[in-house]
Amino acid sequence: MKLTDALRGEHGAFYALFDEIEDIAATEDAMAQWLGATTVLEAMVTSHEALEERLLFAALKPHLGDRSGPLATLHTEHEEMERFLAHMLQESDVDRAILWISEALGAARSHFKKEEQILFPLAERILGDEVLIRMGREWAEVRRVTVD
């Protein structure tokens, strides 16, 4: 399995979690449940971004550079999402915490779409199947997923 397909799969799992968190946030008196879900979200986003940068961004850097262009933009967006999520977890006012999560989920959805529509197809053209399948094996090892 190609790394880009594995990352698309992770995005799919995130979209389900984003919807769930929005449902919980809309419920009154669900603060404890909501805090638990957003703590999980923060850990998952951090892990997804770190893996993406360590494998995919690192392989693309010699081709695209990382001071400007798509990798620089996407890296800045990773930092921005982490900032929104950190604010959300530190916020004691429920209404403001909900605003932070709404910022974070909006930013995450648009970032993921950008990767799916631009970065992953670009990576597939530049790196080719062999490299992406090798990195897919590294992904599987980190995630403890059996692929073959």
Interface positions, 44-63, toward Fe ion (CB under 5 A) = 52
Whose Cβ is closer to Fe ion: residue 34's or residue 112's? 112
Does 135 engage in binding with Fe ion (CB under 5 A)? Answer: no
Residue 144's φ and ψ, nearest 5 degrees, are 55, 45
| Residue among 115, 120, 127, 139 that touches Fe ion (CB under 5 A) | 115
Does 42 engage in binding with Fe ion (CB under 5 A)? Answer: no
Does 71 engage in binding with Fe ion (CB under 5 A)? Answer: no
Residue 78 CB, nearest distance to Fe ion (Å)? 6
Q: Could you say which DSSP state residue 146 is in?
A: -
Identify the helix (H) or strand (E) that includes residue 48: helix 31-51
The region of 39-47, 80-88, 108-116, 124-132 touching Fe ion under the rule CB under 5 A is 108-116
Does 119 engage in binding with Fe ion (CB under 5 A)? Answer: no
Residue 75's φ and ψ, nearest 5 degrees, are -65, -45
Written as six digits, the tokens of 72 are 């620089």
Tell me whether residue 83 is exposed, middle or buried, using C-beta atoms within 10 angstroms of its C-beta: 0 to 12, 13 to 18, 19 or more. Answer: middle
Q: Which residues bind Fe ion (CB under 5 A)?
A: 52, 115
